[in-house]
């Protein structure tokens, strides 16, 4: 059975992955033994393969499709989030793909910007002690390996504009609508 293959030489761990359907399209969830390590939006075909290749390469891991069940809880919680029953994921995360300033910003975002709220890039920069680093905060959001769970969709421009979002502004808008931050469109 494919999931039972031994880890190849040079690879030290398994990167378990699954694709989950959601209100914003397919999501790739990937986890190591340390926790959820990656989330990717629009995870059909090429996006899924590219993401798995990149993450596995960075971690020196062998990607396997749902092997031990370590994704069961993340899948359950993501599903519950999209049905409106979950406001905080509370998952064990593997921060291996975020370092330095980016990790600091992402941790502040996770801990300090709850469901149904937003924060400006500049404000988030101030919170991590770098008040002139709003653009660097934007870079950190763009390199977030755990979007949705580490809610970079909650970071907006100081004038109220949506700002950017690696998975598209329509996805960001829909997530903010789900959390009650933006009104739903009339049409």
Catalytic machinery residues:
152
CA pseudo-torsion sign 121, 126, 129, 134: positive
Rounded Cα–Cα distance for residues 151 and 113 (Å): 8
Distance CA 97, CA 79 (A): 24
Burial of 14 (0-12, 13-18, 19+ CB in 10 A): buried
CA distance 123 to 132: 10
Output the CA–CA distances (angstroms, integers) from residue 177 to 12, 28, 39, 66, 170, in the order listed.
Answer: 41, 22, 20, 31, 10
CA distances from 170 to 17, 51, 74, 151, 177 (A): 25, 21, 24, 15, 10
Going from the C-alpha of 35 to that of each of 45, 155, 184, the distances in angstroms are 24, 24, 34
């Amino acid at each position: 059975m494919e999931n039972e293959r031994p880890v190849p030489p040079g690879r030290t761990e398994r990167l378990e992955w699954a694709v989950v359907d959601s209100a914003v399209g397919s999501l790739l969830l990937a986890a190591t033994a340390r926790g959820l390590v990656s989330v990717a939006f629009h995870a059909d075909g090429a996006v899924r393969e590219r993401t798995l290749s990149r993450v596995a390469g960075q971690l020196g891991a062998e990607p396997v499709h749902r092997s031990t069940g370590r994704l069961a809880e993340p899948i359950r919680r993501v599903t519950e989030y999209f049905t409106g029953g979950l406001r905080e994921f509370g998952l064990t995360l593997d921060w291996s793909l975020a370092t330095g300033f980016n990790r600091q910003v992402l941790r502040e975002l996770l801990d300090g910007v709850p469901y149904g709220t937003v924060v400006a890039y500049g404000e988030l920069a101030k919170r991590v002690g770098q008040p002139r680093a709003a653009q660097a905060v934007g870079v950190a959001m763009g390199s977030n390996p755990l979007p949705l769970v580490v809610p970079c969709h909650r970071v907006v421009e100081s004038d109220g504009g949506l700002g950017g979002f690696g998975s598209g502004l329509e996805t960001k808008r829909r997530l903010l609508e789900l959390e009650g931050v933006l009104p739903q469109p009339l049409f």
